[in-house]
Amino acid sequence: MNTHNWKGVYINPDSKHPLDANPEHSYSSHLAMNTCKYYQIPLEYKVQNYTITPKTHPAFQKLNKSASVSKLNTVDIASLEMVKFGFGLSKGGMHTWLFSKGKVYEVHWDKIGSELYEATAIRVFPWLSGAIVIPYDQASHLAASAKLKCGG
């Protein structure tokens, strides 16, 4: 990635209260903010808290019970949705996908015909957290607030 100057972007719709109540999402957020890495992928940007889990949702209380509702961040996600191309990874690379202009494009190898390909808005992508690597020239679309400051 570094030899071609691609930029890593950490994504997470709700870093405190993931919709599936899986602690992996909060933990990967913590690591991304402090190490600027998603597994071994170097990160320069973060786009978080763009689809907040409602306090009334059962998953809200299953994890981080004492944490308040995350503050909605519409600026960073809107800027990511302007990026023309990226390669995405979820669950540390267990699931890979393509990204373009706010949509995740997947191929389902166990399907045929019209079910083979799927396009899903990033705001409702069920794999939740992960990373997207984007060509360096696409990073100019990202909001200044999305720039990562490691350890802070």
Give the confidence band of 150 by pLDDT, cuts at 50, 70, 90: confident
Task: Tell me if 152 is assigned to some domain.
Answer: no
Task: Tell me if 59 is assigned to some domain.
Answer: yes
* Domain that residue 47 falls in: 2-146
Task: Tell me if 151 is assigned to some domain.
Answer: no
pLDDT(1) > 70: no
pLDDT(62) > 70: yes
Query: CA separation (Å) from 122 to 3, 5, 23, 98?
Result: 27, 24, 20, 11
Look at residue 59 and give its three-state secondary structure.
Answer: coil
With CA atoms as reference, report the closest residue to 48 among 128, 106, 139. 128
pTM given for the model: 0.93
Task: Tell me if 110 is assigned to some domain.
Answer: yes
Question: Which pLDDT score is estimated for 152?
Answer: 54
Look at residue 151 and give its three-state secondary structure.
Answer: coil
Contact 89, 98 (CB under 8 A): no
Contact 46, 34 (CB under 8 A): no
Task: Tell me if 19 is assigned to some domain.
Answer: yes
Q: Are strands 117-121 and 103-107 parallel, antiparallel or unpaired?
A: antiparallel
Task: Tell me if 82 is assigned to some domain.
Answer: yes
Residues 4-50 have pLDDT tens digits of: 899 999 999 999 999 999 999 999 999 999 999 999 999 999 999 99
Strand pairing partners for 42? 37
The total domain count for the chain is 1
> How many residues comprise the chain?
152
